[in-house]
Amino acid sequence: MVEARVRVIYGDTDQMGVVYHANYFRYFEFARGEYFRARGGSYRELERDGLMLPVVEATASYRSPARYEDVLLVRTLVSEVKRVSLTFTYEIFREGGSDIPLVTGRTVHACVSREGKPTRLPEAIVRMLQEAP
């Protein structure tokens, strides 16, 4: 598991002063990048090698709102690896808040070539994603 911190900016909130629901997917994306970096890799390297990991499914369950200036902890892990796909799961907590997540979610990613054809995940990438940081 990798933990990323992100501060809620004013532009992330709606008229009610809470984080707009779609912005949690941006936090998931940020945390995925941090997950790769914590393990010595990056999306950029994958793309340089001709591979992409588009999101093919995304879900979020909202339990409690985050607000402007909150520092959020996004806990991320790879929960499933298949031949041509992988799944990230997320829990978002308010720093200094309770042990109950504000939001939980998951994204499923297909491994595809630049041409969009399904491609087997390279073994080196699978090892990198599953090793402890």
Q: Would you write out the chain's pLDDT as a tens digit for each of its 133 residues? A: 999 999 999 999 999 999 999 999 999 999 999 999 999 888 888 899 999 999 999 999 999 999 999 999 999 999 999 999 999 999 999 999 889 999 999 999 999 999 999 999 998 888 888 776 5
Please identify which of the residues 14, 49, 70, 99 carries the catalytic annotation. Answer: 14
b/e sequence 34-49, b meaning 16+ C-beta within 10 Å: bbbeebeeeeeebeee
Return phi, psi of residue 113, to 5°: -80, 175
Number of H-type helices and E-type strands within the chain: 3, 7
| Beta carbons of 41 and 35 less than 8 angstroms apart | no
Query: What does pTM read for this prediction?
Result: 0.92
Domains of the chain: 2-130 (3.10.129.10)
Catalytic status, residue 14: yes
